[in-house]
């Protein structure tokens, strides 16, 4: 698999495969976020997911992939710090605001900063058509957030704080997307970076969530964490692994834009599983998001 990935890197085949991976990451990320905002407290659920994907990645890191080169350890440490900040802000936002309001703001504030970061770090340049497509996508995402803000009835008293936290979380999304792309490109074997990232990244949130549950008096029994954690961990590995591989095979900015179609899937998940309403206006806004992503992809 590694040989094939390296062979298509920088080719048209690699670019098309990166598009598929980014769209797959969008669907999976929406599912992952919905699981974190679901029936279990977001802090507790995040801890269960993280410890699960760490245990899944550990044997792969130790016995399957090549050992990381010396220069990769500081990069992994930086990724751990950024993701820990991101996950903390995300959990804080989800405990204060409705999923369909918080999630679009988180995802909508990330693409612009990611494109700027990709230009500064990798020299990637968007065409005028791609900038127009991103404008269409952002109009859809933030339009969806504003519409949800006006219609949501849950957690109104903490919604302003939730929106501020969601914006900060979106900035972290841009930061980790760009930084992780740098990390996976700096590794001779991309799967080495992926495996060790999940190992390094997995231990912090279980400790934080355990302390949080103890302080809040939340019982970890009877919440189905024995199966929710591994399912969420597997979704996390597949989702983040897909987008990281997409940033190695294709342009970071394009992959980031395509991933933000996750907002469409998040709205559908919120409607189907979290019983949040979806009307014709939200459908139109979701269509704008999808249209913007298509324009970006085919204007490159």
Per-residue model confidence as pLDDT tens digits over 2-46 = 899 989 998 999 989 999 999 999 999 888 888 877 778 888 999
Per-residue model confidence as pLDDT tens digits over 243-276 = 999 999 998 988 988 887 887 887 788 777 767 6
Give the largest Cα separation in the chain, rounded.
54
Q: pLDDT tier at 153 (50, 70, 90 boundaries)?
A: low
Q: pLDDT tier at 68 (50, 70, 90 boundaries)?
A: very high
The highest-confidence range among 40-44, 169-173, 192-196, by mean pLDDT, is 192-196
| CA atoms of 120 and 116, how far apart (whole Å) | 6
Q: pTM for the full model?
A: 0.87
Confidence at residue 182, expressed as pLDDT on a 0 to 100 scale: 94
Contact status, residue 286 vs residue 103, Cβ threshold 8 Å? no
Per-residue model confidence as pLDDT tens digits over 116-136 = 888 888 898 888 999 998 889
Least confident of 88-92, 228-232, 272-276: 272-276
């Amino acid at each position: 698999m590694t040989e094939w990935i390296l062979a298509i890197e920088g080719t048209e085949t690699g670019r098309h495969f990166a598009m598929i991976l980014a769209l797959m990451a969008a669907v999976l990320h929406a599912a992952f976020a919905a699981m974190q905002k679901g029936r279990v407290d977001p802090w507790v659920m995040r801890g269960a997911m993280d410890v699960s994907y760490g245990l899944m990645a550990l044997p792969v890191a130790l016995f399957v992939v090549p050992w990381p080169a010396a220069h990769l350890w500081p990069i992994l440490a930086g990724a751990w710090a950024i993701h820990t900040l991101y996950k903390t802000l995300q959990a804080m936002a989800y405990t204060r605001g409705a999923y369909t309001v918080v999630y679009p703001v988180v995802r909508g504030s990330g693409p612009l900063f990611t494109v700027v970061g990709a230009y500064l770090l990798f020299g990637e340049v968007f065409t005028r058509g791609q900038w127009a497509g991103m404008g269409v996508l952002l109009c859809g995402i933030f339009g969806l957030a504003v519409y949800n803000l006006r219609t949501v009835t849950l957690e109104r008293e903490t919604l302003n704080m939730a929106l501020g936290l969601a914006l900060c979380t979106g900035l972290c999304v841009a930061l980790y997307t760009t930084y992780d792309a740098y990390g996976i490109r700096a590794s001779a074997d991309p799967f080495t970076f992926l495996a060790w990232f999940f190992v390094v990244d997995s231990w912090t949130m279980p400790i934080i969530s355990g302390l949080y549950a103890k302080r809040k008096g939340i019982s970890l029994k009877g919440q189905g964490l024995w199966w929710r954690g591994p399912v969420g961990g597997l979704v996390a590995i597949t989702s983040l692994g897909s987008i990281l591989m997409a940033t190695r095979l294709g342009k970071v900015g394009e992959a980031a834009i395509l991933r933000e179609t996750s907002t469409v899937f998040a709205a559908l998940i919120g409607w189907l599983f979290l019983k949040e309403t979806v009307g014709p206006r939200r459908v139109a806004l979701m269509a704008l998001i999808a249209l913007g992503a298509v324009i970006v992809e085919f204007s490159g």
